[in-house]
Amino acid sequence: MSVPERMHIAIEESDEVCCKSCKQMEGSIGEYFEKHYQKPALWAGPMLSSPPVGSGGLDEKLDGWLKGFEEGSVVCHSPLDHPHIVKRLNQHPHKDSWKEFDILGKSKRTRNCAIRWVGATTFDLKTPLDRVFHKSLRSRVFIRSSELPLRGDQFINARLMSEELRVGIEVQKGEEDGSFTKEAICDAVMTVMDEESDVGKQIRINHTKWREILLRKGLEDGYINDFTSSLQSLVLEWGLHANVSIQNEAYMLMLKMSENSNQEKEKLHILMYPWLAFGHMTPFLHLANELAQIGHKISFFLPPKARPKLAHLNLHPHLISFVTVSVPAVDGLPDGVETTSETPMRAGPYLFDAYDLTRPHIESSLSQLRPDVVFYDFAAHWLPGLARKYGARPVYYSMFCTTFFAYLSPRARGLGPKGLMSEAEFMRAPPGFPLPEMGLRAHEARHHAWLNGFRVGLEKVPFWELFYRAIEESDAVCCRSCREMEGHFGDYLAKHFEKPLLWAGPLLPSPPGPDGLDEKLDGWLKGFEAKRVVYCAFGSEVIMFHKEQFQELLFGLELTGLPFLAVLKPPFDYETIESALPEGFLERVKGRGIVQDGWVQQQLILKHSSIGCFVNHCGAGTLLEALTSECPLVLFPQKCDNFINARLMSEVLRVGVEVERGEDDGFITREGVCNAIMTVVKEENEVGREIRANHAKWREFLLKDGLQEAYTNELNDKLLGLVGWGY
To the query of whether residue 286 is one of the catalytic residues in this protein, the response is no
Task: Please confirm whether the linkage preceding 79 is cis (ω < 30° from 0).
Answer: yes
Length reported for the chain: 727
Which of 124, 377, 475, 641 is flagged as catalytic?
377
For residue 674, what are the contacts with CB-CB under 8 A and spacing of at least 6?
556, 559, 560
Three-state DSSP class for residue 504: coil
For residue 123, what are the contacts with CB-CB under 8 A and spacing of at least 6?
52, 55, 57, 58, 59
- The CA-atom distances, in angstroms, between 604 and each of 52, 377, 517, 596 are 31, 29, 6, 17
Give the chain's largest Cα–Cα span: 92
Contact yes or no for 407/427 (Cβ under 8 A): no
Contact yes or no for 444/663 (Cβ under 8 A): no
Q: What angle do CA 442, 447, 452 make, to 5 degrees?
A: 125
Please state, in angstroms and rounded to a whole number, the distance separating the CA atoms of residues 566 and 572: 17
Phi, psi for residue 564 in degrees, rounded to 5: -150, 155
Please state, in angstroms and rounded to a whole number, the distance separating the CA atoms of residues 620 and 626: 10
To the query of whether residue 280 is one of the catalytic residues in this protein, the response is yes
Task: Please list the alpha-helical segments (H only) found in 40-181.
Answer: 60-66, 83-89, 154-159
For residue 201, what are the contacts with CB-CB under 8 A and spacing of at least 6?
195
The CA R_g of the chain, rounded to the nearest whole Å, is 30
- The CA-atom distances, in angstroms, between 438 and each of 431, 433, 619, 622 are 12, 9, 18, 21
Pairing of strands 461-462, 455-456: antiparallel
Three-state DSSP class for residue 169: strand
Helix, strand and coil percent figures for the chain, each rounded to 5: 45, 10, 45
Please state, in angstroms and rounded to a whole number, the distance separating the CA atoms of residues 691 and 679: 9
Q: Report which residue type is found at 550.
A: F
Please state, in angstroms and rounded to a whole number, the distance separating the CA atoms of residues 665 and 266: 54
Phi, psi for residue 456 in degrees, rounded to 5: -120, 160
How many CB atoms are closer than 10 A to CB 661?
A: 18
Burial (CB count within 10 angstroms: exposed 0-12, middle 13-18, buried 19+), residue 474? buried
What's the sign of the alpha-carbon dihedral 344, 346, 348, 354?
negative
How many CB atoms are closer than 10 A to CB 60?
A: 11
Strand ranges inside 317-444, DSSP E: 320-324, 373-376, 393-398
Three-state DSSP class for residue 594: strand
For residue 437, what are the contacts with CB-CB under 8 A and spacing of at least 6?
429, 651
- The CA-atom distances, in angstroms, between 79 and each of 135, 151, 160, 207, 699 are 10, 12, 20, 22, 32
Which of 280, 286, 608, 695 is flagged as catalytic?
280
Residue by residue, DSSP assigns 8-71 as: HHHHHT-S-EEESS-HHHHHHHHHHHHHHHT--EEE----PPPPP-SS-SS-HHHHHHHTTS-T
Q: Is 336 left (phi over 0), alpha (psi -120 to 50) or beta?
A: left
Please state, in angstroms and rounded to a whole number, the distance separating the CA atoms of residues 245 and 309: 52
Q: Report the number of secondary-structure helices (H) and strands (E) in the chain.
A: 28, 21
Give 51's DSSP letter: P
What's the sign of the alpha-carbon dihedral 572, 550, 426, 480?
positive
Q: Report which residue type is found at 606.
A: L
Pairing of strands 393-398, 373-376: parallel
Cite the active site residues: 280, 377
